[in-house]
Amino acid sequence: MARVIDIEEKKERIKIDFPYERELVDVVRTLPDRWFDRTSKCWFVPLQHLNYVIDRLDGYHFKFSPRLRRFRADGDHDQQVKPAVPEVPEGTWTISRLNQAARMALQKRFDAPVWIVGELQDFDKNRASRYRTFFFDLVERPFAGATEVAKLKAVLFERHRNKIFKKLGDNNLELGDGMAVRLSGKVDLYARNGRYQIIVEDIDPAYTAGEIELNRERVFQALKKKGIEADNRRRPWPDCPLRVGLITSFESDAYNDFVHQLRESGRGFSIAAHDANVQGVHTERSVLRALKYFETNADDFDVVAIIRGGGSRSELAYFDTEAIGEAVCRHPLKIVCGVGHQRDICLLDLIAESTKTPTAAAEQVVRRVDGFVDDLHQTYESIARLGAKKVADCRQGLVRQGASLERQVISKLGVERQRQERMEAAVGEVGRRLLQRQRRVVDDAQRALYRSGQRCAERRRRAVDRATRELSMRRLSRRFERRRQALENLVEELRKSTRRDTNFARQRLEFLEEQLTLVDPRRILERGFAVVRDERGVIRSRDQIAVGHDFDVLLGDGVLRARRVDDEQPQQQQASGDAALAESVD
């Protein structure tokens, strides 16, 4: 589609039509009073700015419509066209012309696309913005992780982006921040702000894939140089790894597949998931934080699984860092890796227990538990067999011992029976002698008891006679007199105590009456104060009494009945009204 500048004389406006190009849109936006029509997808500028529009768009390869050429050939339009900006002195450059000249010189020097290598920076934010054109930086570093030594602005238009993304997808790659790339494009200068940039048109997927492999090998060799590359892989599995630590993106497909596989096993797994970014530039920091957590709480877990779903090789490259590799190698727990699909590989596959998918990682853990349970069952069965054999041997021994014991018991019972018969005969004779002896003792005790009872009864009888003689009226009179005298003394003490308490209570009452008199409100009213009240109670503010409402004024010698009138009435009328309404009430 061509770039055309047309004119609509009846509507007195200029029409600018061109295919979308971000740079050219920015230039058109600098035109005075311009606006964009979404229906026709064209820009419009008032006719009075015609000369400025033609001058501003010069160099952008616009064609003039036949109507515009006829309009410019007609000399009468000169009076209608007004200059939009002051005239530039001869020999002076405008900024736009200078930038445009520099752009043309740069395009002339680099008239063909060039290949350039660098590391992507600020690329990921373009996906979030969903702009059709991507703006990012290419940086140069002497080696991975070093400080950048140069930077170049890059632009990727939609038509080139689709082609590049398809080529990367065919090679199982995806662009992201921190990736090393080899790009082809045109060297350009953005005339609006003088920005030097490259317009990306193509990419070399083989270079990116090779850089990923080289970086992974470099990191692995660094771990190997430290002698730790196989430490975690050689770490033995726990006997029964039921306490599983999980590092992945929470509620992702990988998380759901892993947890589902463990639950389907029917074993009593305990899963603690630590949410982590498993793609993008934040992968390293997030995974290291999760590994540190499980290292700190190593006593609470048996094994740690690092998983994520399948993705491009470039996404898996975020795991290929020396910091993650060293943390995994030195980790006190056995680590299982389930990152990617069958054809994918990352650093974790070289230094940890490697499985190709999250489901396979879960199956590996389940197999370890199943193996432990199988061994346990075999041990139980072996113990059961040995126990059954031991029980059978013991049963046969018990049968033999029982027969021998039975014979011994029968023999012993015969001997004991004879002994018992002899003892029974001897005990019967001794019992008869003892019984006769005890009978004589009982008879003697009965006779002695009878004699003792008679003597005791006689002593009691003599005591009763003495008490009867001693119980006379004179003794009773003396006893009653002592009791009466004690009773009178108690009555006198009670009377004195009552008089004392009564006097104290009377003094207390007089004191309280005096205090009550001092605080009596009538004494305050007698000094000239008054209390205003109505049927609702005491009135403390004039706003509580409505105009025309009756109220009482309590004085020291009686009550006045009053009514409130409007405050705006003349004072004399109010005074006369108050006199007429006042009423004394005793």
Q: Which residues contact 490 (CB under 8 A, 6 or more apart)?
A: none
What is the number of residues in the chain?
586
By DSSP bridging, strand 243-248 and strand 270-275 are parallel
Percent of the chain with pLDDT over 70: 90
Residue 420 CB contacts under 8 Å (≥ 6 apart), including other chains: none
DSSP H or E segment with residue 244: strand 243-248
Give the pLDDT confidence score for residue 577 in this predicted structure: 52
- Given a cut of 70, whether residue 340 has pLDDT beyond it is no
List the domain boundaries for the chain. 4-87, 99-203, 228-368, 524-585
Residue-wise pLDDT for 397-445, tens only, equals 888 888 888 888 888 888 888 888 888 888 778 878 888 888 888 888 8
Per-position b or e across 440-470, b if 16+ CB within 10 A of its CB = eeeeeeeeeeeeeeeeeeeeeeeeeeeeeee
Distance CA 177, CA 126 (A): 11
Distance CA 524, CA 271 (A): 83
pLDDT > 70? residue 96: yes
Q: Which two tokens stand for residue 111?
A: 């008239």
Cα distances (Å, whole numbers) of residue 145 to 180, 225, 319: 12, 19, 14
Cβ neighbours for 218, distance < 8 A, ≥ 6 positions apart = 144
The pair of three-digit structure tokens given for residue 250, joined into one six-digit string? 């929470």
Q: Is the pLDDT of residue 581 over 60?
A: no
Per the listing, tokens 């409402």 go with 549
In CATH, what number does 228-368 get? Answer: 3.40.50.2300
Using the structure block, give the residue that is written with the tokens 């993304």. Answer: 165
Q: Residue range 85-106: average pLDDT?
A: 79
Burial (CB count within 10 angstroms: exposed 0-12, middle 13-18, buried 19+), residue 296: exposed
Tens of pLDDT along 554-580?
A: 887 888 888 888 766 655 555 455 544
pLDDT of residue 82: 46
Longest CA–CA span in the chain (Å) reads 176
In whole angstroms, what is the distance from residue 271 CA to residue 366 CA? 13
Q: What H or E segment, with its residue span, contains residue 142? A: none
Q: 99-203, which class in CATH?
A: mainly beta
471 vs 148: which has the higher pLDDT: 148
In this predicted model, what pLDDT tens digit does every residue of 235-283 receive, in sequence order?
A: 999 989 999 999 998 888 888 989 998 999 888 899 999 998 887 778 8
Residue 470 confidence (pLDDT): 64
β-bridge partners, 116:
183
Query: Other C-beta atoms within 10 Å of 154: how many?
Result: 23
DSSP string, 308-349: E----HHHHGGG--HHHHHHHHT-SSEEEEEES-TT---THH
